[in-house]
């Protein structure tokens, strides 16, 4: 039975900025009760105040999702305050850019610990609650990279592919309780502070490759899943096109992604090596957006989106013509 977003108790990890903060706002505007988790306690309190002003109830619980005990405590605090958990949004995540050979092992491991084990910890905390309740919705943020991969992001791509597999396995395990749903969202490039916060061993400045979508678009999708759960949802037109073309012409898309996305996310100007927010949060004051929808990200048809559509279709047409000749 679908949930009403306005009556839901919703736990959101990674709630201090970006998609998590936008999603907290979207649920709060519908009167939901929110339990907000992130490492940055000060920004988390800001989000809680914003949610209350928007009409929701909010509890801030500083949490590092790599620590399973802290995630268990997060679930306990939610139950103590609101008596149940209806939606759990596994959203906290980190990224790293750079060639596989250049990314240190501790950085690689930290990405997996956060993006995969952080979600495992969330599921371990909430799935027993859902079992007892007989209902609940677990939503995992896997990224479009969990379908397509991306050069210079081996650790991130690995974590996101794993999240999709983890969610599918959980989905099969709860077939005996139809009131429990496991959903996966796959956003395309979103205008959040993610690219400012990512670790970087590429020696180039990291940027968001257009087209760039708003975090509010993702937030509305998450809210919609509370009312109508679905297994997987791709967010963003370019992502939907890319996933379709990956099915039609997987080899062609591998070559296109390997070229276009490499240049799309890495600028020509240099950048020093940094571990970003992997081990320590960054207090840069960026709340929801990262400022990537300015200038060339607005207006017109972006080169990357055009390439994703035109080049594979052109190559398919050429191959068919050669076979028929």
User: Hey, which residues are catalytic here?
Assistant: 156
The answer to whether the beta carbons of residues 68 and 44 sit under 8 Å apart is no
Distance of alpha carbon 169 from alpha carbon 7, whole angstroms: 29
Task: For the chain, give the number of residues.
Answer: 325
Q: Which of 283, 110, 114 is nearest to 193 (CA)?
A: 283
Distance of alpha carbon 122 from alpha carbon 108, whole angstroms: 21
- Strand (E) positions, 104-224? 136-141, 180-187, 199-200, 204-206
Beta bridge partners of 38: 62
Write down the residue that tokens 């005990």 correspond to: 69
**Which conformational region is residue 55 in: left (phi greater than 0), alpha (psi within -120 to 50 degrees), or beta?**
left
Distance of alpha carbon 75 from alpha carbon 133, whole angstroms: 14
**Assigned token pair, 40:** 């940055």
Rg (CA), the chain: 20
The answer to whether the beta carbons of residues 44 and 70 sit under 8 Å apart is no
Beta bridge partners of 273: none
Report the 10 Å Cβ neighbour count for 52.
13
Distance of alpha carbon 89 from alpha carbon 76, whole angstroms: 16
Give first-to-last CA distance, the chain, whole Å: 56
Phi, psi of 14 (to 5 degrees): 65, 40
């Amino acid at each position: 039975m679908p949930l009403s977003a306005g009556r839901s108790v919703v736990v959101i990890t990674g709630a201090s900025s970006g998609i998590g903060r936008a999603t907290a706002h979207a649920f709060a505007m519908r009167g939901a009760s929110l339990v907000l988790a992130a490492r940055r306690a000060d920004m988390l309190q800001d989000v809680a105040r914003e949610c209350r002003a928007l009409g929701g109830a909010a509890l801030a619980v500083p949490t590092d999702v790599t620590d399973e005990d802290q995630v268990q405590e997060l679930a306990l605090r939610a139950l103590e305050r609101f008596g149940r958990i209806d939606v759990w949004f596994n959203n906290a995540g980190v990224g790293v850019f750079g060639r596989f050979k250049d990314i240190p092992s501790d950085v690689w491991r930290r990405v997996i610990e956060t993006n995969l084990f952080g979600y495992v910890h969330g599921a371990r905390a909430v799935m027993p609650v859902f079992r007892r309740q007989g209902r609940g919705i677990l939503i995992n943020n896997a990224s479009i990279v969990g379908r397509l991969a991306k050069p210079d992001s081996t650790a991130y791509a690995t974590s996101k592919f794993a999240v999709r597999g983890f969610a599918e396995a959980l989905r099969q395990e709860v077939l005996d309780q139809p009131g429990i749903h496991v959903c996966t969202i796959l956003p395309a490039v979103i205008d959040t502070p993610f690219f400012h916060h990512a670790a970087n061993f590429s020696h180039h400045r990291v940027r968001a490759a257009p087209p760039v979508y708003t975090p509010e678009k993702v937030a509305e999708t998450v809210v919609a899943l509370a009312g109508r759960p679905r297994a997987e949802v791709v967010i963003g037109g370019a992502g939907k096109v890319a996933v379709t073309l990956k099915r039609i012409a997987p080899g062609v898309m591998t070559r296109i992604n390997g070229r276009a996305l490499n240049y799309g996310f890495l600028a020509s100007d240099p950048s020093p090596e940094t571990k970003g927010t992997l081990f320590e949060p960054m207090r840069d004051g960026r709340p929801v957006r990262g400022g990537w929808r300015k200038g060339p990200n607005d207006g017109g048809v972006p080169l990357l989106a055009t390439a994703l559509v035109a080049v594979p279709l052109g190559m398919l047409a050429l191959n068919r013509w050669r076979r028929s000749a």
